[in-house]
Amino acid sequence: MNSENAPLSPSSKPLLRALKGEAVWPPPIWLMRQAGRYLPEFRAMRDKADFLTRCMTPDMAEELTLQPIRRYGMDGAILFSDILILPWAMGQSLEFIEGRGPVLGAIRSAADLQRLDPKRVLEATAPVRETLSRLSKSLPEVTTLLGFAGSPFTVACYMVEGGGSRDFAATRQMMQTEPMLFDRLIETLTVSTAEMLCGQIEAGAEAVMLFDSWAGILPPTAFRRYVIEPTRQIVRHIREKHPGTPIIGFPRLGGIMVREYAEQTGVNTLALDTVADPAQIAELVPEITLQGNLDPMALFSGGEAMIREAKAIRDALKGRPHVFNLGHGVMQHTPPENVGALVDAVRAV
């Protein structure tokens, strides 16, 4: 085979190199919710089918994943899907309502939990794996394909509440008054999440990310029990089957607890939320890749202020493994040109 036409090795992918612990300069960049409603091409697809149908139809999910790659040349392409696909796959009712978000049949009792069937997950998520398989062939060779899942605690929050919440009071009450029931739910999600992520890797994902969006509502003891320990078990399971696959953990708003999280879970990369100081976190966890953490509002606003802040984050982490990203997802009405300006700024030497 002519060397000029030979497929690139994984080491030629900047994002994969950074996730495996290499200091790449300039740092690779991708954004949480980079496939989203801020893109006109995404909105055009939205009019063709409801959200769940788009997630579970490989033609649509592949196209939505590819849109920001075509437009911006991101170093990472994250599967277009949702963290609530897992409870839906186990049999919990799920509907996405415009202006309200996800609505699920709330899990409030042992009988509710008993109705879930983890054995359904493999078959129900086959379209997701098909999407990953297609993307592994259709993405540019320099682009790293990312799979993901919600972490058990965050997914449990939605399952118990029956949707989003300001304070997740029902979830926290179950933790206090029915700890055995809540432990069973977390255990079910931990096992199913690990197996689902292994399936994503086998379908083509080169790295995976665990989103624990609501980790920050827990006190330290509960954080250790419901965030760190399930993540540790998931990482261990993936390592046994796919030892070379990088794992990104995102314990959003975890504060000082992110040090224990990084040290005890075994994740390769710690994703930082908006309030984290990258330079301080770099001193606390020197042996791990960091990801993040521009404020999504800075991206929304754009201009010179955004560029200064992005370069300050980038430059503060120069010389250590770093993946540039946001501290949370791209906001809905972000001007697409701001994203292009951000990518250019991060890549400017």
Q: Residues comprising the binding site?
A: 33-37, 82, 158, 213, 328
* Cα–Cα distance for residue pair 38/149, rounded to 1 Å: 22
Could you say which of 38, 158, 226, 261 is catalytic?
158
Could you say which of 75, 82, 212, 273 is catalytic?
82
φ, ψ (nearest 5 deg) of residue 133: -60, -40
Strands 94-97 and 101-104 turn out to be antiparallel
The answer to whether residue 46 is catalytic is yes
In one-letter notation, the amino acid at residue 224 is: R
* Cα–Cα distance for residue pair 86/81, rounded to 1 Å: 10
Please, what's the b/e burial string for 287-303 (b: 16 or more CB within 10 A of its CB; e: otherwise)? Answer: ebbbbbbbbbebbbebe
Residues 6+ apart with CB under 8 A from 249: 151, 209, 210, 212, 231, 261, 262, 265, 267, 269, 270, 271
Binding site for substrate, by residue number, is 33-37, 82, 158, 213, 328
Could you say which of 46, 184, 259, 347 is catalytic?
46
Helix-then-strand count for the chain, H and E: 18, 9
φ, ψ (nearest 5 deg) of residue 290: -110, 145
φ, ψ (nearest 5 deg) of residue 102: -75, 140
The answer to whether residue 166 is catalytic is no
**Token pair belonging to 48:** 């063709």
**Token pair belonging to 2:** 């002519």
- Cα 84 from chain centroid? 12
The answer to whether residue 82 is catalytic is yes
DSSP state of 332: T
* Cα–Cα distance for residue pair 54/63, rounded to 1 Å: 10
Active site amino acids: 33, 37, 46, 82, 158
